[in-house]
Chains A and B, each alone.
Chain A
Amino acid sequence: MTHHNIDSGKQTFVEEGTEFKGTMTSSCPVAVRGTLNGDIKAPMLTITETGTVIGNVEAASIRSEGVLAGKVDAEDIFLSGKVRDNTVIRAKSLEVKISQEKSKLEVTFGECMLEVGEDPAKDAKGGDQRNAGVKTDSSSSADEDEDDDEMAA
């Protein structure tokens, strides 16, 4: 990601109805309305409500309103939609808006790991590094099972 084209106005689209399998590296922002199954590296990634991204994701900024799964590394992430099982999200900053309606979920999390910002245990009493039951296993892979695509109402 040495050469970013964020300001050029150019954008790479994976349109609805398109399924892309493989590795994608782009210096432009990428918007996924279809399905991207594989690894992606881009300065900015947008996953719309119809979009799905499964794999290793590396981007400075991610905005996901669709389905996200795999190993996700970003500086800044905005999440709604669905995060599938066996997903690991590492970010400097994460935002998830809480739904105003009590019966509605803004985001549905499967079994996943969130590592956001500096380690909170660093400033714990005595400086003990604590991760008790939280395993920071980065080797988890995306659950490619399509069964859990149903969004909670």
Chain B
Amino acid sequence: MPDLSRSEIEQKVKRGEDFERMDLSGIDLSGAELSNARFSRVLLDGAILEGADLSGADLTGASLREAFLESAKLDRAKLCKADMDGAKLAHATLRETDLSRANLEGADFDSADLTDARLKYAQLDSANLNGARLQNAVLANADLVEADLSNANAQKANFSRALMRAANLSRANCTEADFDSSILQKTRLSNANFTRAVLSEADLTEAQLDGTDFSSADLTRVVIDNARFEATKLNGARLFGVKLEPIALDGLEFEWVDLSPSADREQRVAKNELKRAKTPLAEAQPSRDRYFGPGDVLRNAELEVNNGARVQIDSRFEGCTIRLGPEATLVVGEQGVLDSCTINGGKLIIKGRFLEQQSPGLIGPEELFISSKGAVVATVTQSPQSTRFGFERGCRLRVQITQPKSDNL
């Protein structure tokens, strides 16, 4: 730590001097006036900044591991790519603060104000956001695994594509929030308010949904396998493409739901009509989804999937050829094995195994996402527009990536 007194630091801040890369670890600057400080890449590990005014400060890439920032003012501060592992930020104000790609694992934001904050791609796993204010905050692609968001106010917040497995959102206010394509497996959403929220293509497998209010929410193509329903409010919700067993209807409270593909409320269906149908909800409507369950074995088959359709495979496919139309999605579930198969085009989500025999096994996918449990041995010939790749930590790969060849497409 440099030999600088608290007042010297405050004076340097006032003069607009740059502290870049300075080591201030462990320093006590509680209550200090540090607004607009130039602390880019500064080491502040374990620093005591309780009640300090850091509004507008540039802390880009700074290290604030285990720093004590309770009740600090960080409004409009730049904290992108900062390392704040285990930082204490209870009751801090972070309005319009940029925390994109910051490491906030295990950080404590209890009752903090993160209104309009940017947290894209932030690591927030196991973070405490109990009672935090997150209105209009952007948490797209953030990692919120096992995070505590209970009692949080996340109205109009953006959680699209966020990873929220086993997070706690009990009693959270998520009115009009965006959870499009987010992973909400095993989450606790008890008594949470998702009125008019967007959850299209979200994965709510094994979620606890007792008392959850999804009134007028967009739940198109949401996955709710083994979710627990009890007094779950669904009135006016959009449910096109949802696989909901009739037995689950007993745990739902609604007068009508919307089953129209365009989610324009043109196809209203009352609860008693659904009960009479005695079929899974997804079968009571025109659906382009296909599912191959565990235990099935398909050999040397050819499968064509229409544009925009979705196929999930939890079976074993051997020597099969699968052609996917534009925007069509193929999900290889955790139990799915594709052995010696070829897949052409489409969006691929691999949670199980794909084992190539003949190269290339994956031809021109628009998107290839391999989850933490996915395993792939394949040559991937990219699409002419270049394939969008996503790999989760834990995936196993023996993958050769090649550029597109016209004769493969």
Tell me the minimal C-beta distance from B259 to chain A in angstroms.
26
A116 interface residue per 8 A CB criterion: yes
Interface string of A101-137 (1 = CB under 8 A from B): 0100111111111111111110111000011111110
Spot the interface stretch: B107-115, B188-196, B244-252, B385-393. B385-393
A1 interface residue per 8 A CB criterion: no
A9 and B23 contacting across the interface, CB-CB below 8 Å: yes
A24 interface residue per 8 A CB criterion: no
A114 to B379 CA separation, bound complex (whole angstroms): 10
Q: Which residues of B contact A134 (CB under 8 A)?
A: 356, 359, 377-379, 398-400
Q: Which residues of A contact B140 (CB under 8 A)?
A: 100
How many residues on chain A are close to B (CB under 8 Å)? 40
Tell me the minimal C-beta distance from A99 to chain B in angstroms.
6
A93 interface residue per 8 A CB criterion: yes
Q: Which residues of B contact A110 (CB under 8 A)?
A: 401, 403
B25 and A9 contacting across the interface, CB-CB below 8 Å: yes
B397 and A120 contacting across the interface, CB-CB below 8 Å: yes
A118 and B396 contacting across the interface, CB-CB below 8 Å: yes
CB < 8 Å neighbour of A107 from B23, B43, B389, B392: B389
B339 interface residue per 8 A CB criterion: yes
A97 and B141 contacting across the interface, CB-CB below 8 Å: yes
B361 interface residue per 8 A CB criterion: yes
Given contacts A108-B386, A119-B396, A121-B398, is CB(A96)–CB(B391) below 8 Å?
Answer: yes
Q: Which residues of A contact B396 (CB under 8 A)?
A: 116-120
Closest to A100 in B: B140
Q: Which residues of A contact B120 (CB under 8 A)?
A: 100
A132 and B161 contacting across the interface, CB-CB below 8 Å: no
A108 to B383 CA separation, bound complex (whole angstroms): 12
Residues of B323-354 at the interface with A, using a CB-CB cut-off of 8 Å, are: 337, 339, 353
A94 interface residue per 8 A CB criterion: yes
CB < 8 Å neighbour of B397 from A97, A117, A152: A117
CB < 8 Å neighbour of B395 from A9, A97, A116, A131: A116
A118 to B353 CA separation, bound complex (whole angstroms): 13
B320 interface residue per 8 A CB criterion: no
A133 and B379 contacting across the interface, CB-CB below 8 Å: yes
B229 interface residue per 8 A CB criterion: no
B367 interface residue per 8 A CB criterion: yes
7 sampled A-B residue pairs with Cβ under 8 A: A9-B43, A93-B393, A116-B397, A118-B396, A119-B398, A120-B355, A133-B358
B interface list, Cβ under 8 A from A: 21, 23, 25, 43, 45, 63, 120-121, 140-141, 160-161, 337, 339, 353, 355-361, 367, 369, 375-379, 382, 386-403
